[in-house]
Amino acid sequence: FITTSVSRGRARATGMLLDGAVVCRAGGAAEQCLSRGISSDQRPKRPLTAYLRFVVENRSAFREKNPEASNLELIKKIAGAWKELPASQKQVYEEARKTDWKRYGEQMAAYKAQLTPAQTAALKEERRKQLAKRRSMRAKRELNLLGKPKRARSGFNIFLSENFQRSEGISPVAKLKKLYDAWQKLSTSQKQPYLQLAEDDKVRYENEMKSWEAKMVELGREDLVRSRKQRLKKKPAETAKQAETAKASSGGNKAKLKLKKSEE
C-alpha cells in the first residue's frame, strides 16, 4: 500500500481511507490514484523556452497597443516582433532559459528521488499517454490542414444530427440517450431513408478519398495513403455472401460436368 494525499471522495473510488489519507492498492484503479497523487504542485514545472518568455513579458504591452486584435492576431504580432529581435537581445532570454533549465534538472532529480518504484512507473505511464495524445492531436491537425475528406456518416449519425436540436433533454448526454432509444424503436422502413443517405455518403467519401490520396502521392506523402488491403476491405457479411454464391456456382458447374460425362 502507498499513501497519498487526495480527497476523501476520490479515496472511496480508488483505494481505502486511513486517518484522512488514501491507501492505494496495486494495479487497476491504483494507477489512477498514484498518478493523481503525484501530479500535483509539488512536481517541478518545466521552464519556458526563450520565445515563450518573450511572449509572457510582452503580451500586455502588445495588448495595450492593439486592443481590438484577436488572440491569434496578437500572437502573430508578437511572433513577428520576436523574429525581428536582434540576436544579442534574444540571447538574454536564452541565458535565462538555460539558468532555469539547470535549476529544473536539480529539482526534478530531488523530486524523483523521493518517489517509490510504483509511483515512478505511474509517472512514466502518465507521460506515455500524454505524448500519445499529443501525437494524435498533431496528426489530426495535419490531416485537417491537408484537407482530408470527412468520414462517411452512419444512418444513426444522420438521424442524430437531424433531430438533436429539437430533441428534449436536460443535457447533451440525455438527448443522445433519448435519440438512441428512438432510433432503436424505428421500423426498418422508417430507418431506410437514413440508411440510404448513409450509403450515398459512403460513395461520396470513397470518391473524395481517391482524389485526395492521388494528391497526397503527388506531394510525396504516400504515408497518408491507405494500403490496398484497407481500400478493398469488405464487410464480413458481404464476403460471406459472395463466398456462398461462389460455392453454389461451383457446385452447379460440377453437377453439369458430371451430367455431361454420364451422357457421353
In DSSP notation, 60-85 reads HHHHHH-TT--HHHHHHHHHHHHHHS
Check whether 29 has a pLDDT greater than 80.
no
The span from the CA of 93 to the CA of 237, in Å, is 63
In the structure, what pLDDT confidence band is assigned to residue 233 with cuts at 50, 70 and 90? Answer: low
Predicted model pTM: 0.51
- Residues 6 or more apart whose CB falls under 8 angstroms from that of 197 comprise 153, 155, 158
End-to-end CA distance of the chain: 86
In the structure, what pLDDT confidence band is assigned to residue 232 with cuts at 50, 70 and 90? Answer: low
Find residue 17's DSSP bridge partners.
22
In the structure, what pLDDT confidence band is assigned to residue 248 with cuts at 50, 70 and 90? Answer: low
Check whether 90 has a pLDDT greater than 90.
yes
Check whether 218 has a pLDDT greater than 80.
yes
Q: Are 69 and 77 a contacting pair, CB within 8 Å? A: yes
Output phi, psi for 82, to 5 deg: -65, -40
Q: What is the pLDDT of residue 227?
A: 80
Check whether 7 has a pLDDT greater than 50.
no
Check whether 103 has a pLDDT greater than 60.
yes
Q: What is the pLDDT of residue 231?
A: 59
Check whether 238 has a pLDDT greater than 50.
no
Q: What is the pLDDT of residue 165?
A: 85
Query: What stretch of H or E contains 154?
Result: none
Q: Are 126 and 35 a contacting pair, CB within 8 Å? A: yes
The span from the CA of 232 to the CA of 206, in Å, is 11
In the structure, what pLDDT confidence band is assigned to residue 2 with cuts at 50, 70 and 90? Answer: very low
Check whether 75 has a pLDDT greater than 60.
yes
Q: What is the pLDDT of residue 123?
A: 85
Q: How does pLDDT run across 153-212, given as a tens digit for each residue? A: 999 999 999 998 888 777 889 889 999 999 999 999 999 999 999 999 999 999 999 999
Q: What's the CA angle centered on 28, arms 23 and 34, to 5 degrees?
A: 45
Q: How far is CA 21 from CA 4, 8, 141, in A?
A: 6, 8, 42
Output the average pLDDT for the chain. Answer: 79
In the structure, what pLDDT confidence band is assigned to residue 213 with cuts at 50, 70 and 90? Answer: very high
